[in-house]
A = this chain, B = another copy of it.
Amino acid sequence: MDKMYKENNLSKNQQIIFDLIDKSSEPLKAYTILFSVQKKGIKAPPQVYRALDKLVETGKIHKIESKNAFVACRNSNCEISKATAFSICESCEMVDEINDDKLTKYLTNFSDKKGTKYKRFNLEFFGLCKKCK
């Protein structure tokens, strides 16, 4: 092959899957993604999971742990997923990334009773979004 896909830094499968997640207004699950990209030649779970792993690793997407689903990063400050926070609507399932410098600073600097600091955190808030209230 001669036309390479590296204007940016994503491989073909990574780009396809990132685009899908990035355009989505809601978190996408791995198998939902799989079904959506089968027409593009991505046919098996490992292809999806490998792309997801890489995208998470590079901070392009985040995993919403409580939902086993993935969203595109909307926060230029989250520094490769070291400090993530989300609001999750318990009614409509909507997820928003929270980008709040004070919160990030507070948690990044948090040290527990033994004085231990942590290099990474993930915070998930649950409640009702504006629409659902």
Q: Which residues of A are interface residues toward B (Cβ below 8 A)?
A: 65-66, 87, 96, 98, 100, 103, 106-107, 110, 112-114, 116-127, 129-130
A34, B113: Cα distance in complex, Å: 34
Contacting residue for A100 out of B66, B113, B117, B126, CB 8 A: B113
* A121 & B125 in contact (Cβ 8 Å cutoff): yes
* Residue in chain B with minimal CB distance to A121: B125
A112, B116: Cα distance in complex, Å: 27
Contacting residue for A116 out of B87, B113, B119, B123, CB 8 A: B87
Chain B residues with Cβ under 8 A from A114's Cβ? 130
* B126 & A123 in contact (Cβ 8 Å cutoff): no
* Residue in chain B with minimal CB distance to A125: B118
20 new A-B contacts, CB < 8 A, other than A65-B66, A120-B126, A121-B125, are A65-B124, A87-B112, A87-B116, A87-B118, A96-B112, A98-B112, A100-B113, A103-B110, A106-B106, A112-B125, A116-B129, A116-B130, A117-B127, A118-B127, A120-B125, A120-B127, A122-B123, A122-B124, A123-B123, A123-B124
Quick one: given A65-B65, A65-B66, A103-B110, are A127 and B122 in contact (CB under 8 Å)? no
